[in-house]
Amino acid sequence: MRILRLRPGFQADHSSSSYLFYAADGEVGAEGRRVAHRFSSHAEVDEQFARYHKWGESELSSEAYPALLGKYYDVMARSEREVEENGSTEKNPGRVLPLV
């Protein structure tokens, strides 16, 4: 076996971001839940919440915010978790973005 290329300094990215959309004023119907599922096949969606979890540098599509906020959900929160080089984790408290 021959080594063709070396990549010094490679590190896996174990950071993650969580997104939560919440319907405060009532339940989200079937149409709203279908729209929420469009942005991730792994989304957790029910009548009150839509939850997304993205790993590494992946993030929720910028199209999700206008599609979900206002028409179906009232509040959106985001929380980030970053893994330091020494393996410890640092959490950013979630930002809550009210409907404007």
For the chain, how many structural domains are there in total?
Answer: 1
Q: What does pTM read for this prediction? A: 0.67
Q: What residues make up the domain containing 53?
A: 16-98
Is position 62 within any domain?
yes
Is position 41 within any domain?
yes
Q: What is the pLDDT of residues 58-90, one digit of tens each?
A: 888 989 999 999 899 999 988 877 655 545 545
Inter-CA distances, 79 with 8, 14, 29, Å = 31, 14, 26
- Which residue is associated with the tokens 């404007």? 100
Is position 11 within any domain?
no
Is position 84 within any domain?
yes
Is position 46 within any domain?
yes
Predicted confidence (pLDDT) at residue 42 exceeds the cutoff of 70: yes
Is position 4 within any domain?
no
Distance CA 94, CA 77 (A): 6
Is position 9 within any domain?
no
Is position 59 within any domain?
yes
